[in-house]
Amino acid sequence: MPVISEEKRNRRIVPPPPVLPGGDGGDGGAGDFGGSFPISKGQLGLWILLTAIIMLFAGLSSAYIVLRGLPTWQNIALPSLLWPNTAVLVLSSLTIELSKGAVRKNQLQAMKAWLALSGVLGLIFIAGQLAAWRQLVHAGVYLPSTLQSSFFYVLTGLHGLHLLGGIAGLGFVLFKAMRNRLTVFNHEPLKLCATYWRYPGGRRRRCTN
């Protein structure tokens, strides 16, 4: 029978440390759910919100396609500002992606500059949308004038509200950036804002053509 020394008998077995939630603590991978869940709370909440928004736009798009075939459908002349305004929106999406690329390269000043430019472009888009509505009003086209005018006002109005939410989120992200709270290892708010910014603009543009 083996002899167990006094030192081994008195030695306490120390259990391994527990795995704490919070993932890698970096870029928001597993995030608040730990390694057992692939996305963070912020990502989950954002995708639930975007799913609701996309379903709303998809429903309106389906109604637009069905009603467009009615004999009573009357086309309207779309505002000339629609296309430059769309170009501004596409450019703002590009600048947000450039800000993400800058923070990944640890170019924090460039990230702040691209974020600020994205916010300015978003405000220009909102101003352009209001100007496009004024063009329609001057042409005598109002919300109840035709089915297409109703869809145009509703869809562009909802998209404007969507973008206003994005501008508010972008302002929050820019505030954090100015306080040096976004780094190459921790910039999930910027990623969430960029994801929100990209949706659901494409559906709105297709339905106003």
Across the chain, what does the average pLDDT equal? 83
**Segment 173-207, tens digit of pLDDT:** 999 999 999 999 999 999 999 999 987 554 444 44
**What's the CATH number where 117 sits?**
1.20.120.80
Give the pLDDT mean for 85-111.
Answer: 95
**Segment 120-146, tens digit of pLDDT:** 999 999 999 999 999 999 999 999 999
Asked whether residue 116 is assigned to any structural domain, the reply reads yes
| 95 sits in which H/E element | helix 82-104
Kindly tell me if the per-residue pLDDT of 17 is higher than 60: no
C-alpha angle 128-149-206 in degrees, rounded to nearest 5: 70
Asked whether residue 104 is assigned to any structural domain, the reply reads yes
Asked whether residue 47 is assigned to any structural domain, the reply reads no
Asked whether residue 138 is assigned to any structural domain, the reply reads yes
Structural domain count, the chain: 1
Name the residue among 74, 60, 49, 52 with its Cα closest to residue 154: 60
Q: Is 166 exposed, middle or buried (0-12, 13-18, 19+ CB in 10 A)?
A: buried
Would you mind telling me the total number of residues written for the chain in this entry? 209
Name the residue among 137, 189, 128 with its Cα closest to residue 159: 128
Residue 9's pLDDT band (cuts 50, 70, 90): low
Residue 38's pLDDT band (cuts 50, 70, 90): confident
Looking at residue 181, its pLDDT comes to: 93
CA 125, CA 128: separation in Å to the nearest integer?
5
CB-based contacts of 168-174 (< 8 A; 24+ apart in sequence): 169/193, 169/196, 170/96, 170/115, 170/118, 170/119, 170/122, 170/197, 171/119, 173/115, 174/112, 174/115, 174/116, 174/119
Looking at residue 18, its pLDDT comes to: 47
Kindly tell me if the per-residue pLDDT of 6 is higher than 60: no
Domain housing 90 = 60-207
